[in-house]
Amino acid sequence: MKERMKKKFALSDKGAKELIWGIVAVVAQNLALMFPVSLLYLFTGDCIDGVDLSSGTGSYLCGIAVCLLLLVLTSIWQYNSAYKSTYKESAARRISLAEKLRKLPLSYFAKKDLADLTNTIMSDAEVMEHAGSHMIPQYYGSIISTLIICIGLFFFQPKMALAAVWPIPIALIIVLTSKKVQNYFSRRQVQAKVDLNDGVQEFIETSRDLKSNNAEEEYLKELEEKIDIVEKRAIGSELGTAVFVVSAQMLLKFGIGTVALAGSTLLINGKLTLMEFFCFLLVASRLYEPMSATLINLAAINAMQINVDRMNQINDTKEQEGSESFEPKGYDIVFENAGFSYEDGKTVLSDVTFTAKQGEVTALVGPSGGGKTTVSRLAARFWDADKGKVMVGGVDVKTVDPEKLLSAFSIVFQDVTLFNNTVMENIRVGKKDATDEEVLVAAKLANCDDFIRTLPNGYDTVIGENGSELSGGERQRISIARAFLKDAPIILLDEATASLDVENETKVQGALSRLIKDKTVMVIAHRMRTVAGANKIVVLSDGGVAEQGAPSELLKKNGIFAQMVKLQSEGQNWSIV
pTM equals: 0.67
Structural domain range at position 337: 333-571
- Distance in angstroms (rounded) separating the CA atoms of residues 161 and 259: 8
Shared domain check, 309 and 206: yes
CATH code of the domain in which 164 resides: 1.20.1560.10
What is the pLDDT at residue 570?
Answer: 65
User: Which residues, including other chains, have CB under 8 Å from residue 4's CB and lie 6 or more apart?
Assistant: none
**pLDDT tens, residue order, the chain (577 aa):** 777 777 777 777 777 788 888 888 888 887 887 777 677 767 776 676 666 666 667 777 887 888 888 888 888 888 877 777 788 888 888 888 888 888 887 767 767 777 777 777 877 888 888 777 778 888 888 888 888 888 888 888 888 888 888 888 888 888 888 888 888 888 888 888 888 888 887 888 788 788 888 888 888 888 899 999 989 988 888 888 888 888 888 888 888 888 888 888 888 888 887 777 777 777 777 777 777 888 888 888 887 878 888 888 888 888 888 888 888 898 999 999 998 887 666 778 888 899 999 888 888 888 877 788 888 888 888 888 888 999 999 999 999 988 888 889 888 877 788 888 898 999 998 888 889 999 998 888 888 888 889 888 889 988 887 777 788 778 888 888 888 888 889 988 887 665 556 666 676 667 667 777 778 988 887 777 777 778 898 988 888 888 898 888 888 888 888 888 787 766 555 555 5
- Distance in angstroms (rounded) separating the CA atoms of residues 101 and 121: 10
Choose one of 315, 344, 368: the last residue of a domain.
Answer: 315
Tell me how far CA of residue 127 lies from CA of 87, 190, 301, 305, in angstroms.
Answer: 12, 11, 10, 10
Is there a domain that residue 381 lies in? yes
Is there a domain that residue 328 lies in? no
Packing angle between helix 34-49 and helix 57-79, nearest 10 degrees?
170
What is the pLDDT at residue 505?
Answer: 65
Shared domain check, 438 and 302: no
Burial class (CB within 10 angstroms; exposed 0-12, middle 13-18, buried 19+) of 435: exposed
- Residue 103: name the closest of 408, 314, 419, 417 by CA: 314
Neighbours of 149 (CB within 10 A): 19
Shared domain check, 163 and 128: yes
- Distance in angstroms (rounded) separating the CA atoms of residues 140 and 153: 20
518 Rama class: left (phi>0) / alpha (psi -120 to 50) / beta: left
Alpha-carbon dihedral 222, 227, 230, 234, rounded to 10 degrees: -150
Shared domain check, 310 and 384: no
SS3 418: coil
Looking at the structure of the chain, the number of domains it has is: 2
- Distance in angstroms (rounded) separating the CA atoms of residues 439 and 431: 9
Shared domain check, 311 and 346: no
- Distance in angstroms (rounded) separating the CA atoms of residues 276 and 266: 10
- Distance in angstroms (rounded) separating the CA atoms of residues 406 and 422: 25
Shared domain check, 465 and 405: yes
- Distance in angstroms (rounded) separating the CA atoms of residues 319 and 310: 17
- Residue 307: name the closest of 135, 539, 66 by CA: 135
Is there a domain that residue 321 lies in? no
- Residue 217: in which H helix or E strand, if any? helix 216-268
Render 156-210 in DSSP notation, one character per residue. Answer: H-HHHHHHHHTHHHHHHHHHHTTHHHHHHHHHHHHHHHHHHHHHHHHHHHHHHHH
Question: SS3 string of 352-386?
Answer: EEEEECCCCEEEEECCCCCCHHHHHHHHCCCCCCC
- Residue 544: φ, ψ to 5°: -140, 170
What is the pLDDT at residue 390?
Answer: 92
Shared domain check, 413 and 355: yes
Asked if 168 and 290 touch (Cβ cutoff 8 Å), the reply is no
- Residue 242: name the closest of 298, 326, 299, 311 by CA: 299
CATH code of the domain in which 423 resides: 3.40.50.300
Shared domain check, 342 and 270: no
- Distance in angstroms (rounded) separating the CA atoms of residues 407 and 227: 45
Choose one of 286, 315, 344: the last residue of a domain.
Answer: 315
